[in-house]
């Protein structure tokens, strides 16, 4: 690829935060800053993202703009996460690589962002971070009866940011599948190899009240800091 690779980050931040129960989740405070500010700051701190596009709830676009640096584009999100990603994609311009990163993963270390982006810039067309799972995972039928137990050694809990060649992400979203909970699922369905790099426990998604307590505790106790921050 001639010239420098342009990397855009799409931040889906338009969810209602139903499971957390504290209003639109991206605007929930964590140690004095909203989750949206934490996640965007992490992307900027990584130093490997050229453009940041945030998909916010339609009625909170002005609020999002007021919280973020002027260089950041804020668009309206959609009903489902994939609708929000699609709206962000439309604003991504001529980026070569697009990363999609949940606003809810507020404490994601910049080192993880760099690891994912570098692997994509070096040529992998789809890159996602994953961690080994610690629980035993079972599949169940609608009646709650176990139908299988996949071998745990083969399982990974997948996080964001997820990085894709821009044309691949656009094709994946154009394929229209509505039931995927992440972007990589859409790419897998196109038959394209998705590469997993090591994730980071600090990139956990703040989903329920327990997750927010954990995030608050990590920040208050000084146990969270970007790995690049000098000690
Ligand atoms: N998201 C989005 N647009 C939606 C739904 C979700 O941009 N229509 C974003 C969320 O803001 C979040 C990320 O996708 O940053 C992951 O979604 P999730 O953790 O499910 O957040 P919410 O949908 O807000 O939470 P809940 O499902 O509990 O309502
Ligand atoms: Mg949701």
Count of residues for the chain?
A: 231
Specify if 151 maps to a domain: no
Coil vs helix vs strand at 9: strand
Specify if 136 maps to a domain: no
Specify if 134 maps to a domain: no
Contact 155, 173 (CB under 8 A): no
Specify if 121 maps to a domain: yes
- pLDDT values of the chain reduced to their tens digit, one per residue, 231 residues: 457 899 999 999 999 999 999 999 999 999 999 999 999 999 999 999 999 999 999 999 999 999 999 999 999 999 999 999 999 999 998 899 999 999 999 999 999 999 999 999 999 999 999 999 999 999 999 999 999 999 999 999 999 999 999 999 999 999 877 789 999 999 999 999 999 999 999 999 999 999 999 999 999 998 877 544 444
pTM over 0.85: yes
Domain containing 178 equals 7-129+157-220
Closest CA to 102 of 22, 225, 204, 214: 204
- The total domain count for the chain is 1
Specify if 179 maps to a domain: yes
Specify if 187 maps to a domain: yes
Specify if 228 maps to a domain: no
Q: Which residues contact 78 (CB under 8 A, 6 or more apart)?
A: 14, 55, 84, 86, 87
Q: Among all ligands shown, which has an atom nearest to the Cα of 35?
A: 1
Q: Which CATH number fits the domain that encloses residue 72?
A: 3.90.550.10
- Please tell me if the CB atom of residue 18 comes closer than 6 angstroms to any atom of ligand 1: yes
Residue among 101, 104, 105 to mutate when testing ligand 1 (max atoms within 8 A of CB): 104
Specify if 16 maps to a domain: yes
- Please tell me if the CB atom of residue 57 comes closer than 6 angstroms to any atom of ligand 1: no
Tell me, in angstroms, the distance from the centre of ligand 1 to residue 16's CA.
6
């Amino acid at each position: 690829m001639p010239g420098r690779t342009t990397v855009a980050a799409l931040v889906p931040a338009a969810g209602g935060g139903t499971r957390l129960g504290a209003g639109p989740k991206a605007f929930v405070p964590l140690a004095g800053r909203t989750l949206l500010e934490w996640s965007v700051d992490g992307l900027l701190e990584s130093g490997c993202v050229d453009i940041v596009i945030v998909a916010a709830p339609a009625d909170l676009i002005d609020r999002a703009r007021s919280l973020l640096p002027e260089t950041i584009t804020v668009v309206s999100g959609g009903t489902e996460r994939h609708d929000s990603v699609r709206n962000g994609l439309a604003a991504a311009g001529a980026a070569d690589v697009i990363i999609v990163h949940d606003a809810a993963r507020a404490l994601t270390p910049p080192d993880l962002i760099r690891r994912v982006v570098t692997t994509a810039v070096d040529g992998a067309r789809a890159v996602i971070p994953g961690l080994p799972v610690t629980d035993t995972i079972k599949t169940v039928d609608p009646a709650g009866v176990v139908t299988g137990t996949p071998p745990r050694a083969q399982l990974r809990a997948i996080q964001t940011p997820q990085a894709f060649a821009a044309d691949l992400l656009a094709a994946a979203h154009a394929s229209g599948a509505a039931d995927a909970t992440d972007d990589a699922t859409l790419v897998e369905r196109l038959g394209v190899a998705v590469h997993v790099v090591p994730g980071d426990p600090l990139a956990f998604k703040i989903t329920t009240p327990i997750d927010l307590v954990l995030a608050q505790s990590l920040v208050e106790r000084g146990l969270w800091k970007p790995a690049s921050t000098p000690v």
